[in-house]
Structure 1
Amino acid sequence: MIDRRAETGGRTGRLLRTVTGGPLVTHALIAACALVFVVSPLSGFHPVPGGADALLAAQAGYFERWGVIPSELWDGSAHALLTPFTALFVHGSWLHLLGNVLFLYVFGAMTEERMGRVGFTFFYVISGYLALVAYAAAHATSDQTLVGASGAISAVLGAFLYLFPRARVTSLFPFLFFLPLRFPAWIVLVFWFVLQWLAVQGAGSGGPGVAYLAHVVGFALGFLYAWGRYRRTDRVKAPAAATEGESQP
């Protein structure tokens, strides 16, 4: 997790969050993603009559209705053009959902406070929409359905990197036996971006699977937006103290 005290001015920052009600948009986005998943046929809470085959058919139909199908996105229909928005709230599994909302929870709150609620809302939706469209353009003939908030959340990570380059996060690295280590956010986020970029190169001939390209595009959009919007204002550069909790890069 991030040490918010050093990044927001200690007592003043806590008072400001109390007055403004905190990162309501971030919390609302997390709640919306969770609610959409819980009511979907993927959560396991809603048995489908007809056994496993009927459940798989219901899940496939759900993805086709609300997810992005690259080969259909360019037909110009209103439904197809809306799917990059609806897909931001659809997830394929509990693990997919929890991984995304964890990153949004860790990095979204401070980014929202910096941008403001309205600005953050438009930034999140537009960046996520464009990231999914970019992925669909790169796989224009694919019939595989694309869902998830990863593109939008990647944009939040990119913006956070520019806005709070010296914030510290505590991360768990599997290849270091899950030892919790504290690093400046820029190291964690640049490392994450490099992994996504390498994954894009490795998946280049294998067709779409995990939408690494949407991650890369979203991250770049977020960083460039923050750079263009805030480069003439002071970024938060105060070093952070000890962190609380963990986040996985």
Structure 2
Amino acid sequence: MVLPLRDSPAVRRRPWVNWALIALNFAVFLLEMASPVTGEWLIGNFALRPTALLSPDAWAASGGWPLVTLFTSAFLHGSWGHVLGNMLYLWIFGDNLEDRLGHGRYLLFYVLCIALANLAHAVANPTSPIPTIGASGAVAGVLGGYILSFPRARVLALVPIGAFVPAVRVPAWVFLGLWFFVQLASGLAPIWLHDLTQTVAFWAHINGFLSGVALAQLLSPRQEKAEEPR
């Protein structure tokens, strides 16, 4: 697995929103881990269930609660590896995007990416009652916004080559482009293989990334141009 360590662009202002999002994700995860009962209650009440989100009856019976879970599910995680992986990507790539968009626009960007990514997952799996959790759809949106804004930035990443794991600098468009290709191939694989069973919300990743590209273009301050540090 390729693991990013840092990127090249420097930020001009403190990424308060990105730090707050990371802190909130960790706080909720620690609450989940506090006890099995607490974790089950959080998953049971705040995880996204595609069948409920797309069911008018579920909306009527719960007062529209499935809409709330469209957003709250993005702050729940299933394991330390799950939350650490998502937060590492958010830490590395989110600060630069917040610097470019501004604090308010970045928060709006993140919330919209949550909604669009999770909605795509629900539409792709309309009959699934399985609880869906994780920030990966929103983080995918951040990666999409980053590749649009900083395509020529450099990403320092650990790249496994046999028994060796050297740190290599690669252009952001290559690193993130390959990431997206893997998600797209994984999302299409069940269709090619005629097996629609999927345990990872790849379509949330795919639509989150594409939504991030579009939203970064729409929300980017018009007077600024995307920075392309070499």
* Same fold per superposition (TM over 0.5): yes
In the alignment of these two chains, the number of paired residues is 214
Is the contact made by 2:121 and 2:201 (CA closer than 8 Å) also made in structure 1? yes
Deviations 1:168-210 (A, max 9, x none): 0111123453221100111000000000001101234232311
Give unpaired runs (5+ residues) of structure 2: 1-5
Q: Which residue of 2 aligns with 1:29?
A: 21
Deviations 1:200-226 (A, max 9, x none): 012342323111110000000001222
Aligned CA distance change for structure 1 residues 95 and 80 (closer, same or farther; 3 Å)? same
Are positions 1:179 and 2:184 aligned together? no
Give the alignment partner of residue 72 of structure 1, picking from 52, 58, 76. 52
Give unpaired runs (5+ residues) of structure 1: 47-54, 240-249
Q: Which moved more, 1:211-220 or 1:74-83?
A: 74-83
Deviations 1:24-44 (A, max 9, x none): 00000000000001011xx2x
Percent of pairs identical after alignment?
A: 35
* Distance (Å, rounded) in 2 between the aligned partners of 1:129 and 1:39: 23
Deviations 1:49-106 (A, max 9, x none): xxxxxx4x76444322110011111232421110011011100111100000000000
Give the alignment partner of residue 214 of structure 1, picking from 191, 204, 212. 204
Give the alignment partner of residue 134 of structure 2, picking from 148, 168, 186. 148
Are positions 1:238 and 2:224 aligned together? no
**Runs of 4+ residues over 6 Å off in structure 1:** none
Aligned CA distance change for structure 1 residues 36 and 236 (closer, same or farther; 3 Å)? same
Deviations 1:131-180 (A, max 9, x none): 10110111110011100111111000000000011110111123453221
Is the contact made by 1:70 and 1:136 (CA closer than 8 Å) also made in structure 2? yes
Q: State the shift of 1:237 in Å.
A: 1.9
Is the contact made by 2:46 and 2:69 (CA closer than 8 Å) also made in structure 1? yes
Secondary structure of the residue aligned to 1:113 is helix
Are positions 1:114 and 2:100 aligned together? yes
Which protein shows a greater Rg? Answer: 1
Q: Which residue of 2 aligns with 1:243?
A: none
Aligned CA distance change for structure 1 residues 58 and 194 (closer, same or farther; 3 Å)? same
Query: What TM-score does the superposition give when structure 1 sets the normalisation length?
Result: 0.80
Query: What TM-score does the superposition give when structure 2 sets the normalisation length?
Result: 0.87
Deviations 1:101-136 (A, max 9, x none): 000000000000100111000110111111101101
Letter in 2 for 1:237: E
